[in-house]
Structure 1
Amino acid sequence: MKQGVSATTLQHIATAAGVTRGAIYWHFEDKGEMFNAMMERVKMPLEAARQQMEEANPLEPLQALREHMLACFRVTVENPQARRVFEIATLKMEFTDELNSVRIRRKQNQEMWMARTEAALRDGIAKGSVKKDADPVAVALGLWAILDGLLRLWLLDQSFDLLKVGGQVVDTHLACLEA
């Protein structure tokens, strides 16, 4: 958090944790693997919330997308650990060769999110709740940009209410898709 990912060594991490560098290497092959493990701890509550929401309350596709995006905002605002991890991952990260595995993981997560969103949009088109001329690929990319962009902007200085403004932005864009 203090130095960014690239400037932080495994020795820095070991010292801060009160363990030896060897202990770090016992659990992690390199800094990229350690960073990915940190990201997995934050991803789990988001994925669990999404799965629980889908199982407990099968929503219309646009409503499900809305709820998932707002859940991402809510976790960021309400969970200090998740917020710190997101801040490190979005504002204090450069994708050097040493951290290529992190770049690959981020791309894979984006691709999975896009695939789920595109599928939800196709389902909405088939059910008649999403405009027939909506391009699922373009819409999913736009929604990803909204989600990622609002999180990034809010993490910079928290100068707006992410839950309120985020909800308004998401609602405005989703309303344009309603059939």
Structure 2
Amino acid sequence: MLSIRPKKSKMRRTKEEAEQTRAAILDAAVDVFSSQGVARATLEQIAKSANVTRGAVYWHFKNKTDIFMALYDELHKPFIQELVDGLEKSYDDPLRQLEKVCCDLTVRLEEDPHLQRVLSLFLLKCDYSGSLQVCQEKTRLAKEEKQATLEKFFAKAQAQGTLSADLDPKTLTMALNCFFRGIVVEYLENPDEFSLKEMAPKLFGVFFGKWR
């Protein structure tokens, strides 16, 4: 009787190779988008940088916009999932839990060079002109999803009596977004000026300490 295990092993290896190729294309796209600008970058340049054929790029992505949005999802989905996971757990103080999530996500930036490059691309080096205009709606919806999830943390804290009912969760969410973005941009522009691992707990302590 013939064993089918080698076939399964080959299928698994093929899947892993496809995932590695996709990751290489996305990694190369960050460099090409950052150096050439998203509008001027081409799929040929991305393929060359990733050391793959143009056909391999088309196997994974329909076009340049598809690659751009895949990079955006790479940022957005883990962030949202971490927030949702936090909401589903029971904590005596939801604000402290949100503070911890914010600190952990910020410290991760210092530890992950790829994340630094992707965030630099989105926050410092690109606009949504030309072909990227079609991405604006998706990024707007993603931002609304993030804001709605953050608002639930503040509302949960109010329901548990750890946050004043007089405060507006929507306003607090906007304040946190501005604060968070400011820390990230400051670090990306001046990475040698301070350590996020050291400063993130202090900075978010200032923000969240005001509401306790």
TM-score, with length taken from structure 1? 0.85
Q: Does structure 1 residue 136 correspond to structure 2 residue 169? A: yes
1:137 partner SS: helix
Are residues 101 and 66 of structure 1, via their aligned partners in 2, closer, same or farther at CA, if it must alter by over 3 Å?
A: farther
TM-superposed CA distance for 1:98, in Å, is: 0.8
Aligned length: 178
The CA distance in 2 between the partners of 1:163 and 1:133, in whole Å, is 33
Q: Residues 103 and 75 (structure 1 numbering): CA distance in 2 closer, same or farther, change over 3 Å?
A: farther
Assess if the C-alpha contact under 8 Å between 1:31 and 1:99 holds in 2. Answer: no
Change in CA separation of 1:43 and 1:113 when aligned onto 2, cut-off 3 Å: closer
| 1:117 to 1:43, Cα distance in 2 relative to 1, 3 A | closer
Q: Displacement, 1:59?
A: 5.4
**Whole-angstrom CA distance in 2 between matches of 1:57 and 1:46:** 19
Q: How does 1:20-31 map to 2 (within 5 A)?
A: 20-31=53-64
Q: Cα RMSD between the aligned structures?
A: 2.3
Aligned-pair identity in percent equals 25
1:78 alignment counterpart: 111
SS across alignment from 2:72: helix
**Could you tell me how far 1:34 is from its partner in structure 2?**
0.5
Where do 5+ consecutive residues of structure 1 fail to align?
none
Contact 1:32 1:100 in 2 (8 A): no
Larger relative contact order (Cα-Cα within 8 Å, sequence gap ≥ 6) = 1
Give the TM-score, by structure 2 length: 0.73
Q: Does the aligned pair in 2 maintain the 1:36–1:102 contact within 8 Å?
A: yes
Distance 1:20 1:12 in 2: 10
CA gap of 1:102–1:68, structure 2 versus 1, over 3 A, is farther
The CA deviation string for residues 6-38 of structure 1, in whole angstroms up to 9 with x for no partner, is: 332222101112233343233222212111212
Deviation at 1:134, TM superposition (A): 1.0
The aligned amino acid for 1:174 is F
Aligned match of 2:187: 154
Written as runs of structure 1 = structure 2, the 5 A alignment for 1:18-167 is: 18-47=51-80, 49-50=82-83, 53=86, 58=91, 60-158=93-191, 159-167=193-201
Q: Quick one: distance in 2 between partners of 1:74 and 1:56?
A: 22
In structure 2, the CA distance between the partners of 1:25 and 1:59, relative to structure 1 (3 Å rule), is: farther
- Structure 2 gaps, min length 5: 1-33
Contact 1:4–1:88 (CA<8 Å) still a contact in 2? no
Q: How has the CA–CA distance of structure 1 residues 157 and 133 changed in structure 2, closer, same or farther, with 3 Å as cutoff?
A: same
